Amino acid sequence: MLRTPSTPPSVSPLSTSPLSAAGDRYFDGLADKFADSLYGAARGELRLALLDQLLPEMLDLQGQPLLDVGGGLGQMAEWFAGRANAVTLSEPSGEMLAMARTRLRGTPVDFLQAPLQALPERAPGPWPLISCHAVLEWMGDPHAAMATLAGLLAPGGQLSLMVFNRDALRFSNVVKGNLEKALDDRLEGTGQRKRLTPISPLTHAQIETWSADCGLAIQAVAGIRVFQDYLRHPPASEVERERLLALERRYCRVDPHWRLGRYLLYTLVPRREPRP
């Protein structure tokens, strides 16, 4: 399934800006901060624990070949590879990819340094299973990125898509007292500094519309970290952490709670055309 041309497409250097020529945010120079902030903290542990529960519920996993788009540090590639999936991890950041290689040493994962836009040429598939978690919110044109993903998906395939929830970001800003920012709807990060606020946070309504545009249907949806990010005080003990995890697991797929998850997790499948 993986085709590698003799001359790989160029990726814009990040020496002058953390944004690529396409306006996407890469994490060269920030991989350690990314790892510490998103995975070295309790919120990262909670996110992975919820995915460990939800992915087997929301996907029909039969050991299919998997393309992990924007696979970052390799957590999801490791998870899928542990379930006998043949995994290809694509990532535009050389620094992130090097850290993933170290993490996954000895694991049967193929690595590909390429931006999402290059995947129709570099890894055309079609793929029966694609994972794209926490990537679209760092894209300059997430709508076009979603269309690219749809084009890589095999008939009858599944796309596991997770996006940073714009509505949750607004709610979080209000809870923190950033009322003017919320009123002005100034929620996006600029991508120019070292803060990790996504440049393109997305709403459920956008995913609904774009899925239809791309010929995809939403088969399942869940919220990741429905409660954790709004707590006034983090859990102070292992007992409290277990109670919080129990609450997250209980309500992550229950309406209206899932709608305020920090991330929204979807299973998207090719939409069946109605019979004539």
Interval 5-62: pLDDT, tens: 333 333 333 334 567 878 888 888 776 766 666 665 778 889 999 999 999 999 999 9
Alpha carbon 223 to chain centroid, angstroms? 13
Q: Are 111 and 105 in contact (CB under 8 A)?
A: no
Residue whose entry in the numeric block shows the structure tokens 């607004």: 170
Average pLDDT, the chain: 89
* Half-sphere exposure of residue 70: CA atoms within 13 angstroms, side-chain side: 23
Token readout for 57 is 């519920």
Summarize the confidence of residues 118-147 as an average pLDDT.
Answer: 97
**Interior angle at CA 272, CA 267 and CA 276, nearest 5:** 165
Strands (E), the chain: 66-69, 87-90, 109-112, 127-133, 153-164, 216-224, 263-270
Q: Are 261 and 211 in contact (CB under 8 A)?
A: no
pLDDT attached to residue 10 = 36
Q: Could you tell me the CA-to-CA distances from 121 to 61, 113, 152 in Å, in that order?
A: 26, 13, 10
Residues facing residue 133 across a β-bridge: 162
Residues facing residue 220 across a β-bridge: 267
pTM of the model: 0.89
Locate the domains of the chain by residue range: 31-270
Report the helix count and the strand count for the chain, using DSSP H and E: 10, 7
CATH number at 31-270 = 3.40.50.150
The radius of gyration of the chain from alpha carbons, rounded to an integer in Å, stands at: 18
Q: How far apart are CA 272 and CA 151, in angstroms?
A: 15
243-261: pLDDT as tens digits: 999 999 999 999 999 999 9
